Chain A
Amino acid sequence: MFIDYYKVLGIDKKATEQEIKSAYRKLARKLHPDLNPNDKDAKRKFQEINEANEVLSDPEKRKKYDQYGENWKHAEEYQNAGQYQNAGQYQNTGQYQRQPPDQGGQTFTWSQGEGEFSDFFESLFGSMGGTGRGRQIRYRGEDYSAELHLDLTDTFETHQRTLTLHGDKIRITIPAGIENDQTIKIAGHGGKGRNGGPNGDLYITFKIAGHPKFRRDGNNLHTTIGLDLYTAVLGGEITVDTLNGKVKLKVKPETQNGSKIKLKGKGFPVYKRKGEYGDLYITYMVQIPVDLTDRQRELFTELSKSHK
């Protein structure tokens, strides 16, 4: 597929070197992956402008691109026929190094593994990219994405876990309070870099399953517990489960069905704030006694009459 590099950079075909540089810098500041974390669209566009700059900022490559344009496939045929004497200069020589801006062209080391440059670019300038000035481009390894499925209780305490990825064991720390669908980056554990380029990163998205007893709402937990009618009416003491053990609770007399109480600091740990916890909200579900004995029915009837 033909790519119009001028269009990618938003410049005219007669653009000067300075205009190309300026257009590239303007777009790079907008689309640089460091400024657009986790934005795949920005990464793709950044790759496009990087590629366009690689070609247009190099006079030799620009000449070849301008000469053959969308008929680039024929360029190879011309070269094979010996009509393009300088074809060899596009082969790789030397090691790419970051160069200060005043020492010639500069190519960012960011890429996303596969598809560092388009097929169009590779067909035109070779699979290793253009190297007309004795540079070799460092390829950053591919970023990997993975999902880690956890139970709610797994995220209650900070702990370490060993994952196996492509045969490599990676030990990661899972911080307490991490959210469902939250993604963390493990730097350098993606695909291997090439030509001395850095490794890609590993992005792990946490998928946290619901809990049969507790419902999480941010840092707060919600639960419903059954309360027998007698304790609800007369008050008393009960024991309830929390995610970090049992607690004793005093129930006020005449507690209504559906009423809620809050246990401060008994909720979920706050992400990356050690020692801070949300609250636990308990909803009472008053249970009406069943299978009454004759005596109990008699007493309830008496109670009922006293109520009237």
Chain B
Amino acid sequence: MKNENMISAAKFCECHHIEISFIDSLKATGLIEIATIEESSYIRESQLNDLEKIVRLYYDLDLNIEGIDTVINLLQRMEDMQHEITVLKNRLRLYEG
């Protein structure tokens, strides 16, 4: 069985000075997954980066949840395209080199 590190949602909110209701709304919109253990909410370590990014977008840029969802999707598409460009550059190098 694979072990996974988790952080309690309450602790995360305390560290980032945000309300727990914000995490609940992210969960409701499916932007993050929350694990519930003995009636407490926990965030998986693998989701921390994404969650911190969402927090920055929400509080720093005043984006609403729907806006963040759109931005995250567009960023993912950007990343995919960036990867494709790298692949194409390498392919081009084969013929130019």
Binding site for B on A (CB under 8 A): 25, 28-29, 32, 34-35, 37, 97-99, 101, 106, 108-110, 179-182, 187, 215-218, 271
- Chain B residues contacting A180 (CB-CB under 8 Å) are 86, 90
A217 touching B94 in the complex, CB below 8 Å, given contacts A97-B17, A98-B18: yes
- Chain A residues contacting B87 (CB-CB under 8 Å) are 179, 218
A181 touching B60 in the complex, CB below 8 Å, given contacts A35-B71, A35-B75, A215-B94: no
Using CB atoms, name the residue of chain A closest to B49: A187
- Chain A residues contacting B79 (CB-CB under 8 Å) are 37
CA distance A181 to B88 in the complex (A): 11
CA distance A218 to B75 in the complex (A): 23
Structural contact, B75 and A179, CB atoms closer than 8 A: no
Using CB atoms, name the residue of chain A closest to B79: A37
Q: Which 3 A-B pairs have the closest CB atoms?
A: A98-B17, A179-B86, A108-B60
Using CB atoms, name the residue of chain A closest to B95: A217
Q: Specify the main secondary structure of chain A where it touches its partner.
A: loop
Q: Is B66 an interface residue (CB 8 A)?
A: no
Q: Specify the main secondary structure of chain B where it touches its partner.
A: helix
Structural contact, A271 and B83, CB atoms closer than 8 A: yes
Q: Is B57 an interface residue (CB 8 A)?
A: yes
CA distance A35 to B71 in the complex (A): 8
Structural contact, B83 and A29, CB atoms closer than 8 A: no
Structural contact, B90 and A181, CB atoms closer than 8 A: yes
- Chain B residues contacting A99 (CB-CB under 8 Å) are 17
Binding site for A on B (CB under 8 A): 16-18, 48-49, 53, 56-57, 59-62, 71, 75, 78-79, 83, 86-87, 89-91, 94
Distance between B53 CB and nearest chain A CB, rounded to angstroms: 5
A34 touching B56 in the complex, CB below 8 Å, given contacts A25-B62, A217-B94: yes
Which of A28, A34, A215 interacts with B53 by CB under 8 Å? A34
Structural contact, A98 and B59, CB atoms closer than 8 A: yes
- Chain B residues contacting A101 (CB-CB under 8 Å) are 62
A28 touching B60 in the complex, CB below 8 Å, given contacts A98-B16, A179-B87, A271-B83: yes
CA distance A99 to B59 in the complex (A): 9
Which of B49, B56, B57, B61 interacts with A25 by CB under 8 Å? B61
CA distance A32 to B71 in the complex (A): 12
CA distance A28 to B91 in the complex (A): 36
CA distance A97 to B17 in the complex (A): 7
Using CB atoms, name the residue of chain A closest to B53: A34
Structural contact, B61 and A28, CB atoms closer than 8 A: yes
List 25 A-B residue pairs with CB atoms under 8 Å apart, sorted by A's residue number. A25-B61, A28-B61, A29-B61, A32-B57, A32-B61, A34-B53, A34-B56, A34-B57, A37-B75, A37-B78, A98-B59, A99-B17, A106-B60, A109-B56, A179-B86, A180-B86, A180-B90, A181-B86, A181-B89, A182-B83, A187-B48, A216-B90, A217-B91, A218-B91, A271-B83
Distance between B52 CB and nearest chain A CB, rounded to angstroms: 8
Using CB atoms, name the residue of chain A closest to B19: A100
